[in-house]
Chain A
Amino acid sequence: MDGQGATADPQLQHFIEIESQKQRFQQLVHQMTEVCWEKCMDKPGPKLDSRTETCFVNCVERFIDTSQFILNRLEQTQRSRGSFSESLLD
C-alpha cells in the first residue's frame, strides 16, 4: 500500500487518523480487560458486584500509572546515561 493515495486526500487522511486513534483505544481496552480479568474476577456471578468493579477501576488506573512510570523512568535513565539507547542498539 503506498501512502500517496492517503496524503492526496485530506478528508481520507483525517478519517484514517481518527480511526487509528480509536483503534488504539479499543486495543488497549481489550488488553486491560484481559489483564484485569485475571486480577479481579473470581467465579463469574449473576452480576458484577461492587467490590469487583472497584478492582477493575483500580486495575485500569494502576496499569496506566505503571505504563507511565516505566516510560518516565526509561526516559530518565536515558538522559542520565546518554549511551542508553546506543547500548540497546548494539
Chain B
Amino acid sequence: MHIPDGYLGPATYGTLFGITAPFWGYASWKLNRTLKSRQAPYLALGAAFSFVIMMFNIPVLGGTTGHATGTTLIAVLLGPWATIIAVSVALVIQALLFGDGGITALGANCFNIAVAGGLAGWGIYRVIAAGSDVRSKRRLVAAAIAAYLSLNVSALLTAVELGVQPLLERSPEGQPLYSPYPLTITIPAMLLEHVFLFGVVEAVITALVLRYLQKHEPEMLRL
C-alpha cells in the first residue's frame, strides 16, 4: 500500500501534498488545544504504536500469517485527529529512515492511509457504535466493519492514484511516464487482495484487540 518514489508524477504527488497539508494543520491545531503540553509524548507514543503494530504477525490460514495496519484501531482508541498525526509520523519514519514508501509520495501515502483511512475508520465506527455500551458486541462489529472498509478505502485511493498516471502523465508519443497501468488494472489488482484477504485480517485483528480491551481495559474505550 505504501507507494514508492517514481510511481507518481509531480502533478499527483504535489496535489496530494497540498490536500494533506490542511488536514495536518487542522489536526495539530485541534490536538494542541486539547492536549497542550501532553501533545508530543502522547502523539509520539501513538506513532510508535502505529509503527510496531504492523510487526505483530497473526496466524491466518494453513500456516500463513498476516498483519494489520492498525489505522482504524488507532482511530477508535485515540480519535481521528491524533490518528492523522500519529500514523503520518509513523509513515514519515518509515520513508525517511527505513526507505519504506517514497519520500515524494509521502503526501499521497499519508492521505490514503492516515487521513482517508483514519477518518473513514473513525466515522464508520462512530456511526455503527453510536449509543452502545463500551462492552457491547455492537462495538466489536462496528470496529471490524470500520477496519475492513477503511483499509479498502485506502487501497482504492492508492489504486486510483496509480491508475490515473497513464492518463495524466504521458510523453508526446503517448508513452506513460510513471506507473504504467490504467485504472482497469490497478483497481481490481489492489481491491482483490484487500477485499478478500487483507481487509478480513484487518477486521479480525481490530475486533480481537478491542475485545481484549473491553474485557481488561474498558476505560481505554471511553473516547
**Bound together:** no
Residues of B within 8 A of A (CB): none
